[in-house]
Structure 1
Amino acid sequence: MRASDICTSKVVCIDASASVVDAAKRMREGHVGALVVTEQPNGERIPVGIVTDRDIVMSVIAEEVAPTALKVGDVMTSPVLTCTEEQHLYEIVALLRSKAVRRLPVVNVHGGLAGLVAADDVYSALGLLLREMNAALTQEQVHERVARL
């Protein structure tokens, strides 16, 4: 499985100049825990950062900073770690693990945003692979029983 097979293609994005309050509202409206911060220098949405609900809690609420005083660019993680549409599940897991992140924007060959792969997407893909393995083992057992009759 490749990133393009498991990623969410409808990614909620925001500009670095947007307020943190706008980011929180967009997360609530989109029912998401992260926004990909993008720029559009050549028509492609290029990921330049990521802001999560945890970033807002840790950088704004826990620090008792007025949310209206900060922009997304002040609290986002940048540069953002990405993966390509062609990277395989194993490579994605290795990236998530080695960098201790839960989400990776997926980029196309032009560096434009193509999707977002989250830990939940990886779990779903692994679950599907395990179900397929279980089905293969079950079929093997059935085939063996029939062959021995």
Structure 2
Amino acid sequence: MTKGHPHDTARDLMSAGAECIEAHETLDRAAQMMRDRKVGALPICGADDRLKGIITDRDIVVRCIAQGKDPSKVTAGELATGLVWVSADATVEETLNRMEEHQIRRLPVIENERIVGMISEADLAKHLPEAQLAEFVQRVYAGA
């Protein structure tokens, strides 16, 4: 893996202000939040405002609707997956390695035990050199 600028961190890559859906909220509410915010994933937080996982639009479709479940009755916490995150001061290389290792395309960024942002492929596309982005995409999608 090639390296980004040596001073870049996860904070430099992320989209700030990620809004959590609480674990007790239903999937229809999660879908509405995704629509309103024009995002494909939401971090899931508990009452303690700590990260419990992440839910994607694909999770809602595949793990709820396609299984005949009612999204107005299933909670985000029930589908919480991937308690994978990165520290805001992690290097770009550490961030990409974490995403590749877990074959994920979205990654919560944590600082002082609280979520401060999310990194998506769109964020990577804005900040990484084309060759580094292509290598990342090839590695993540090759394992998918």
What TM-score results when the alignment is normalised by the length of structure 1?
Answer: 0.77
- Where does 1:13-32 land on structure 2 (aligned, <5 Å)? 13-32=20-39
Letter in 2 for 1:95: R
| Deviating 4+ runs (over 6 angstroms) | none
| Distance in 2 between residues matched to 1:36 and 1:83, nearest whole Å | 13
1:84 equivalent to 2:87? Answer: yes
Contact preservation (8 Å) 2:87, 2:110: yes
Correspondence for 1:122: 124
Letter in 2 for 1:72: A
Correspondence for 1:36: 43
Change (3 A) 1:2 1:35: same
Letter in 2 for 1:68: S
Aligned length: 125
Correspondence for 1:100: 103
- In the TM superposition, residue 128 of structure 1 has moved relative to its aligned partner by 7.8
| Distance in 2 between residues matched to 1:93 and 1:112, nearest whole Å | 20
3-state DSSP class of the match of 1:50?
strand
- In the TM superposition, residue 123 of structure 1 has moved relative to its aligned partner by 2.3
| Distance in 2 between residues matched to 1:22 and 1:91, nearest whole Å | 33
| Distance in 1 between residues matched to 2:80 and 2:50, nearest whole Å | 15
3-state DSSP class of the match of 2:44?
strand
> Which of 24, 27, 46 lines up with 2:50 in the alignment?
46
Identity of aligned residues (%): 28
Letter in 1 for 2:119: V
Contact preservation (8 Å) 2:22, 2:47: no
Contact preservation (8 Å) 1:55, 1:76: no
Residues 104-133 of structure 1: CA deviation (Å, up to 9, x unaligned): 11111x211111111221222113898xxx
3-state DSSP class of the match of 1:120?
helix
Letter in 2 for 1:103: R
In proportion to residue count, which structure has more helix?
1
In our comparison, the structure showing a higher alpha carbon Rg is: 1
- In the TM superposition, residue 18 of structure 1 has moved relative to its aligned partner by 0.3
